[in-house]
Amino acid sequence: MRNILIFNILLISGCQYFQPKEQTEEKVIARVGEKELLESNLNALIPANLSASDSVVFVEKFVLDWIKKQLMISRAEEAIDFNEARIQNKVLDYQYALMVHELEKKYIEANLNEEVSDAEIQKYYDEKSENFVLRQNLAKCVYFKIPSKAPNVWRLRRALRNYPRDTTEIWEYAEEHAVKAFVEDSVWVKFDEVLIETPLKDVNDKAAFLKTNSSVEVSDEDFIYFLKIFEYKTIGEIAPLEFIRESVSDIIINKRKIALKKELEKKIYEEAEQTNAFEIYSN
């Protein structure tokens, strides 16, 4: 077992512990075997504006995490015969990937157009509609959850039969008595989410239910549930554009990001080619 230098964290007048000290040798905070955690390494990582007590907590956690990590590395070195060159190559690949990622991120932020027109969304949807097959049932509907003891429930029942000719009475009654209501009849919603608080949540074949019911009233001991369905889409059908508009927009923007990455790579290559920044030697 490697020896661990047990450390003490001293707090002297606020965070004076973290101020530079006049000394010729670097202060060691912790050690695992031959690996040392230096005070300068630690100071650079302490977030600004931490209180004295928060700074102590941060340092204690960081040092303990550092020790645990070094112990795991040491045990791995003892237990496994690593190819050092391969490990170093992976470290370098990861380092370069991070550097390239930051360069790409900066280039994208400077050049990305995040405005997506309705025409672009429609065009992509028309061309790629087979990629938008539904995995859940959707409906356009109105829904009301009314206490079973609410007065004059017949008013809501009658108004729903006459929907949409009699919407004023529906909204007035719902505002006064409904525990829950969904009245956005032009919005596609996930049908399972509509039914989740109703006795209908246990219906096995909800697609068949949608196909055979347009107006439903069910109840339990405490509530009456009213559901009126105007349109529906079932699992396996193509999702309506209104339901996935934001997702399509995100896809288009992501494709622009990919294109910008390729553009940056090509731009850098062509600039290097023009300035003879690289050479390819024949075998």
Q: Which two tokens stand for residue 252?
A: 């288009």
Domain-by-domain residue ranges, the chain? 4-81, 82-131+240-274, 134-233
Residue 10 CA from chain centroid, whole number = 40
In three-state secondary structure terms, 113 is coil
Look at residue 283 in the predicted model and tell me its pLDDT. Answer: 66
CB 215 within 8 A of CB 229: yes
**Residues 203-249 pLDDT 10s:** 999 999 999 999 999 999 999 999 999 999 999 999 999 999 999 99
> Which residues, in sequence order, are CB contacts of 153 under 8 Å at separation 6+?
146, 224
pLDDT grade for 11, boundaries at 50, 70 and 90: very low
227, with CB counted inside 10 A (0-12, 13-18, 19+), is buried
Look at residue 280 in the predicted model and tell me its pLDDT. Answer: 84
Separation CA 51–CA 53 (nearest Å): 6
**Residues 65-116 pLDDT 10s:** 999 999 998 898 888 888 888 888 999 999 999 999 999 999 999 999 999 9
pLDDT grade for 45, boundaries at 50, 70 and 90: confident
pLDDT average, residue stretch 1-18? 38
pLDDT average, residue stretch 250-260? 98
Look at residue 278 in the predicted model and tell me its pLDDT. Answer: 86
pTM: 0.71
Q: What angle do CA 40, 43, 47 make, to 5 degrees?
A: 155
Q: Identify the DSSP state of 23.
A: -
Please give the C-alpha separations between residue 110 and each of 106, 113, 239, 256, in angstroms, as whole numbers.
6, 9, 34, 13
Tokens 């027109």 correspond to 117
Look at residue 83 in the predicted model and tell me its pLDDT. Answer: 85
Separation CA 213–CA 158 (nearest Å): 18
**Residues 113-144 pLDDT 10s:** 999 999 999 999 999 999 999 999 999 999 99
> Which residues, in sequence order, are CB contacts of 179 under 8 Å at separation 6+?
145, 146, 147, 223
